[in-house]
Amino acid sequence: MEVGKRKRERRRRRRARKSSREHNQKRKEEEVAHLEAQEENSAIEPESKRRKTHTVGHSNASNFLDKMRARLSGGHFRMLNEKLYTCSGDEALKFFQEDPALFDVYHAGYQEQMSHWPEQPVNIITNWLKGQSPSLTVADFGCGDGRLARNVKNKVFSFDLVSNDPSIIACDMSNTPLDSSSIDVAVFCLSLMGTNFPSYLQEAHRVLKPCGWLLIAEVKSRFDPNNGGADPNGFLKAVCELGFNSVSKDFSNKMFVLFFFKKKKASPETKEIEWPELKPCIYKRR
């Protein structure tokens, strides 16, 4: 074959390979776009219906789709989680009121993340409560699925942005319907999420009886000053200035910290409190 002909042949083959690569890439992109479009609806569609719609005969294809779906709903969870950590409580309330189904998406992702934690702070708090008198009245601020109330004998008022259960009161927890000085124990289990978190603690102070307990469990990295987290002592100081005495703190768990406070008998003098910033807790992609 003469030189010119060989060159033309090589060019033709290169073009064919490039076009085949582009074709495959385009197919993958279309598949992802299709899944993303379906995932958009999945926030509203029940899981059982989604499974039926997406059933495909080929098991490899179905594995691939399952993986893609898990990745996309993980992405949805991370987006919602970030939203909750970067807006105020009333914005979060409006956001979920517009589309309450997103709350289920958030909680499915949250439970998945928590399943990797060796110990759940809500269980530590539940066990602590079981060691107290069952006559103590409890307020669970940011109760999630309300499992604290289900696992103790105490009367528990459960608050969250969305209520999927008649026992859960939907509200922004900076403004609960509780009477002042009516509660013995206020619980915040991983729920100091909003940018206005001090107003949640102010509300707890309002509803607690004098000497009432304030229990806070938070993600440990939020209190790691070496990693952009808050200084725990600055946080303790601010909570004490709000009108509490610090009883104990527990940093022994790898994933979360626990603070126990008691409301002071006398109201503190009003003064500006310097609250440390609590950095958003953004979950990494698994």
Ligand X SMILES: C[S@@+](CC[C@H](N)C(=O)[O-])C[C@H]1O[C@@H](n2cnc3c(N)ncnc32)[C@H](O)[C@@H]1O
- Nearer of residues 100 and 237 to ligand X, judged by Cβ: 100
- The Cα–Cα gap between 275 and 100 comes to 31
Min dist. Cβ of residue 140 to ligand X (A) = 7
- β-sheet bridge partners, residue 250: 258
Rounded CA-CA distance 211/137 in Å is 13
Q: Which one, 22 or 250, has the nearer CB to ligand X?
A: 250
CA atoms within 13 A on the CB side of 223: 24
**In the complex, minimum distance from the CB of residue 147 to ligand X, in angstroms, rounded to a whole number:** 6
Torsion of CA 41, 46, 47, 52, to 10 degrees: -80
Question: Smallest distance, Å, CB 282 to ligand X?
Answer: 13
Q: Interface with ligand X by CB under 6 A: which residues?
A: 84, 89, 92, 110, 122, 142-144, 159-161, 172-173, 189-191, 193-194
Give the separation between CA 75 and CA 264, rounded to whole angstroms: 43
**Minimum distance from residue 149 beta carbon to ligand X (Å):** 11
Rounded to an integer, what distance in angstroms lies between the CA atom of residue 16 and that of residue 152?
A: 68
Choice between 84 and 156, CB closer to ligand X: 84
Q: Which is nearer to ligand X, 136 or 189 (CB)?
A: 189
